[in-house]
Structure 1
Amino acid sequence: MPEVGGSKGLTVPGDPFLSTVDRVCAWLGSAPEKVDALSGAERSRVLGEVADINAAAASGDDGALYAQQYLLDRIYQLYTKIPQGQTAEGSVVVYEIARLLETATAAAQDALIEPGLIEEAPTEPREYLTWLKNTARNHRVYKHPYYHDFIRNAASHDDLRNYVMQESVVDGRFDDLLAMMQVGTAGAAKMEIAANFWDEMGNGDHAQVHTHLFNKIYEVFEISEDELSRSLTATSLLNGNLAVMLCRQRALYAEAVGFLGMTEWMAPDRFVQVVHAWERLGLPEVGITYHKLHITIDSQHAQGWFHNVVLPAAESADMRRAIARGILWRLNSSAAYLDERIPSVAA
């Protein structure tokens, strides 16, 4: 992974991708009208450079993939964080850049889906739900050795520390993802998302808010916000960006249903291994409360999600296709992320 250049940006000598990212990131702290006042030539040049990043990422260039996902993450922060000053939120140019990045990211995920797989899905909702679960069970990410072999039995203090930093892109903001995706919903689906969200809010007890509990892990490992930002890999950023993309865009609501539903369904088995590793290493109990809670809670949430959100939606052919797409995006992106962890561990 290219080294992040701290507060001055990402620029690495001789790396044109990160030079482009650095330049665009510098705009994100400017007023939208200032960014949109760029000359037509400058605008076209930057859009062309972003297209080049996307093309290189699609061809397998790891540096380009990191640049692509890092830039998309920074743009998404305009919409997911309360700013401390002026930002470019609302800029037409920034929107154009984001759409180029999102379109390329979605195309890359679609290319990973086995041709014809989604078309095999049954049309009857309960059979469809069974098919979704079986598709996940038959995927190589299910019970991935990263969790069942490495994390459980071999991970060191530093390995677990790196693990929680990478997990922050989804686990560390699951409440916000739910809040974004519920907009426009109604009936049983809205109530299920609301119940899930309220659990994330600690059922009204600030000390039990799940993001607050997750942050306790950072305290155990003494992880600063700056280190967290610098340590995220391309595949970690990708998983976080997919979650934000699907939850923000109303046209991708059904994909979000699949993506988040599969995230919760897989979590309990994975977290059992994390708890085992935590206790094996004798780490402070305060840091593992989040994972212990979610072993039970996510199992309940997943079942409620499947029956109150997925099943009613599965009456529609378009919804069935989109939910399956979101589930496969989650399975494939998670597999890439976990595969990346294994070589770094073996080294």
Structure 2
Amino acid sequence: MTIAERAVLRAAVSDLNARSAAGDPAAFYGQQLLLSRIYALSTQLPEGPTAEGSTFVHEVLRLLEQATAAAEDAALEPGALDAAPTEPSAYLSWLKKSAREHRVYKHPYYREFIRDHATADDLRNYVIQESVVDGRFDDLLATMQVGTSGDAKMEIAENFWDEMGNGDPSQVHTHLFNQIFRVFDIPAQELERSLTANALLSGNLAVLLCRYRHLYPEAVGFLGMTEWLAPERFVHVVHAWERLGLPDVGIVYHKLHITVDSRHAAGWFHNVVVPAATSERMRRAIARGTLWRLNSSARYLDERMPDLATHRPV
């Protein structure tokens, strides 16, 4: 590739980012799809030659990552990161309070639509969108723990080992999650083309925060909040699954995570968040990652929330 060709492609990516920032839905989708495909170069084993080591691909990657991070920061309420208490226990209480007061907490998508109105097709689409995080949580943990030590590393390791089924291949959580694909006959090639821009963003943010060491505290906030919110949400998924009489094999993952994620979230908060909260830099960054998760999840669920009037019986 010539210098001129590189310049043209850089300009095209910059234009895509600018249009996405201006609110162009097609540009936002294109931006997140391209970012997801580049991440796949380093998160999936290749079947042949790849562009993983390309310096130009890395240059494009950084343009996309910086634009994505800037958009999330722009969505933060002014002063939101300055309000955190300095005492670690009080800081943890503040984080939880911020989540409980956020509009995404107990979102009606789960409490109303999924629980009482979702059809089997709705659950099929739900699982496809959720695959970007739930379907690779073990790899996210493995990536984010690099460079950690002490109680934090042990907590992440315990979490990871649970994801690995505590050594039982049949109980590996990604394997259990993939059983849902079999229930709904979802082929691999359908996954990417069915993902929305906000679903792609959810997965991209998780990879972004876990792969860079300087964003480790943001990953702590992002993944910790993901696990804290999951149990209550999954209760409604299980209720819908049983209401529809779907095969039991497909709901094992969600049933398991109702209890496992409650324990993981408690351990995460007390063994990872609280010790780190003695540092002002860590407090601010953990809060940033937490709010990125809350805000992006809210936009994702708003997008998925249908008009319930069309789902209620006459």
Shorter chain as denominator, the TM-score bin is over 0.9
Q: Deviations over 1:27-76 (max 9, x none)?
A: xxxxxxxxxxx111100000000000000000000000000000000000
Deviation at residue 129 of structure 1 after TM alignment: 0.2
Deviation at residue 118 of structure 1 after TM alignment: 1.1
Find out whether 1:95 has 2:58 as its counterpart.
Answer: yes
Give the distance between the partners of 1:53 and 1:251, measured in 2 at CA.
Answer: 26
Partner in structure 2 of residue 331 of structure 1: 294
Deviation at residue 344 of structure 1 after TM alignment: 7.5
Find out whether 1:145 has 2:108 as its counterpart.
Answer: yes
Give the distance between the partners of 1:124 and 1:342, measured in 2 at CA.
Answer: 38
Give the distance between the partners of 2:194 and 2:72, measured in 1 at CA.
Answer: 23
Deviation at residue 117 of structure 1 after TM alignment: 1.2
Q: Which AA in structure 2 matches 1:153? A: D
Deviation at residue 343 of structure 1 after TM alignment: 3.8
Give the distance between the partners of 2:184 and 2:48, measured in 1 at CA.
Answer: 30
Q: Deviations over 1:89-144 (max 9, x none)?
A: 11110000000000000000001110001101000000000000000000000000
Find out whether 1:76 has 2:57 as its counterpart.
Answer: no
Give the distance between the partners of 1:67 and 1:136, measured in 2 at CA.
Answer: 30
In structure 2, the CA distance between the partners of 1:117 and 1:255, relative to structure 1 (3 Å rule), is: same
Q: Which AA in structure 1 matches 2:236? A: Q
In structure 2, the CA distance between the partners of 1:224 and 1:345, relative to structure 1 (3 Å rule), is: farther
The residue matched to 2:305 in structure 1 has which SS? helix
CA RMSD in angstroms comes to 0.9
Give the distance between the partners of 1:77 and 1:172, measured in 2 at CA.
Answer: 14
Find out whether 1:116 has 2:79 as its counterpart.
Answer: yes
Q: Gapped runs of 5+ residues in structure 2? A: none
Q: Which AA in structure 2 matches 1:97? A: V
Give the distance between the partners of 1:205 and 1:239, measured in 2 at CA.
Answer: 29
Q: 1:128 aligns with which of 73, 77, 91?
A: 91
Find out whether 1:60 has 2:29 as its counterpart.
Answer: no
The higher relative CO (CA closer than 8 Å, separation ≥ 6) is in 2
Give the distance between the partners of 1:287 and 1:344, measured in 2 at CA.
Answer: 27
Q: Which AA in structure 2 matches 1:234? A: A
Q: Which AA in structure 2 matches 1:282? A: G
Query: How many residues are aligned here?
Result: 310
Q: Deviations over 1:262-307 (max 9, x none)?
A: 0000000000000000000000000000000000000000000000
The residue matched to 1:262 in structure 2 has which SS? helix
Find out whether 1:225 has 2:192 as its counterpart.
Answer: no
Give the distance between the partners of 2:249 and 2:307, measured in 1 at CA.
Answer: 28
Give the alignment's TM-score, normalised by structure 2.
Answer: 0.98
Give the distance between the partners of 2:166 and 2:19, measured in 1 at CA.
Answer: 46
Q: Which AA in structure 2 matches 1:59? A: A
Poorly superposed stretches of 4+, deviation over 2 Å: 343-347
Give the alignment's TM-score, normalised by structure 1.
Answer: 0.88
